[in-house]
Amino acid sequence: MMNIKTFAKNNWFGLVSLIVSLIILYIFLLTFGGWRAFVASVAGMDFFWLAATVACVFLFWLTDGIILHLYIKTKYKEHRFVSTFKTTAIGFLYNCLTPFASGGQPMQVYDMAKGGVDAGDAASYITVKSIVYQICLTVFAVVSAIFTLRFFNENIPHFIWFFAVGIAVNAAFVAAAFVIIVNKAAATKLGMFFLKILVRLRIVKNKEKAVDSLNKHISLFNESFQAIYQKKWLLASSFLVTLIQLALYYSLPYFIYRGFHLSGGAFGLMVSAQAILTLITAFFPMPGSSGAVETGFYFFFEMFFAYDAIMPAMIIWRMLTYYLCIIGGGAVSLLGMVKRK
């Protein structure tokens, strides 16, 4: 019980944001006609497409674990995929509960370090993985926009400005990450930022000792990155699996669309819509980009869904892409607490 209380105390902002997100979802639910109308709508869905949607979500989680495991296995041959998948689930949980999804990475580094992976190596794996993810996310969205820019610009108010800001913010993140990799002082500052988060969460209690350890790991961080950079096949594999991962995620709205017995909507347009929406909302400050993604989903997909299907579609999509991550990641974290006892 004490661990649960500590978790709640250390993550109060994320939990409050989760409650706000649920309130927003409930408001959308009321505009549709209430809980009973939603349940009736879901009950009438095509089971095949609903099952395919859920399968896509789990495959999205699985590919995320595969990508991280590719990096870990370059040095830690005995590291099990089950441990890597646990790290992935914990990352999803804390990304959902912290502003700018900033809590997932330090918690993943911490979990890997507890599992026998040196913190310097773990930090380099997470950093490179994040860079690859953001590059793929940005490229996917830009390529999609090349073919669909006119369509969305004509159907979504101020679309071009939202898209431009999304590109700028994601490009800035990638540029900053590269600076951190090649600049030891920048890497130290990033490490101190993550360390402060862990101290605030009361996971790290001896700050002075942790700072000394951090400085030692910075050198290993650079060495680890250089080792990864030398393995071109590893980077190529990481890019390929990340693109597959994003394609799975971006296909979810279309699968939900088909689940409501709808047809005629172009698969490519809906994948493009999700890719661009993800780019625009990637760095929204609220945990889980609450408020922005729900509104964005409505504006991007109302042109595809029938009037009586857009709200339940958005609710299903949000449940699978956000709340299920919290439930799954929370279950893994609690299981870890129980095992440590």
The answer to whether residues 279 and 168 touch, using CB atoms and an 8 Å cutoff, is: no
Task: For residues 231 and 214, give the distance between their C-alpha atoms in angstroms, rounded to a whole number.
Answer: 26
Cα-based angle 107, 253, 171 (whole degrees, multiple of 5)? 50
CA dihedral 16, 17, 18, 21 (to 10 degrees): 130
Helices (H), 35-118: 35-43, 47-72, 81-97, 104-114
Task: For residues 29 and 36, give the distance between their C-alpha atoms in angstroms, rounded to a whole number.
Answer: 10
Q: What is the full per-residue pLDDT of the chain (341 aa) written as tens digits? A: 446 666 666 656 666 767 777 777 777 777 767 788 788 888 999 999 999 999 999 999 999 999 999 999 999 999 999 999 999 999 998 888 877 777 788 889 989 998 999 888 898 899 889 889 999 999 999 999 999 999 999 999 899 999 999 999 888 888 877 776 777 777 777 777 777 877 776 666 777 777 777 676 666 667 777 777 788 899 999 999 999 999 999 999 999 999 999 988 789 999 999 999 999 998 787 777 777 898 899 999 999 998 889 989 999 999 999 999 988 888 887 776 666 55
Tokens coding 117? 């992976």
Give pTM, 2 decimals.
0.84
The answer to whether residues 119 and 165 touch, using CB atoms and an 8 Å cutoff, is: no
- Domain range list for the chain: 2-340
Buried residues in 295-320 as b, exposed as e (16+ CB within 10 A): ebbebbbbebbeeebbbbbbbbbbeb
Task: For residues 237 and 151, give the distance between their C-alpha atoms in angstroms, rounded to a whole number.
Answer: 33
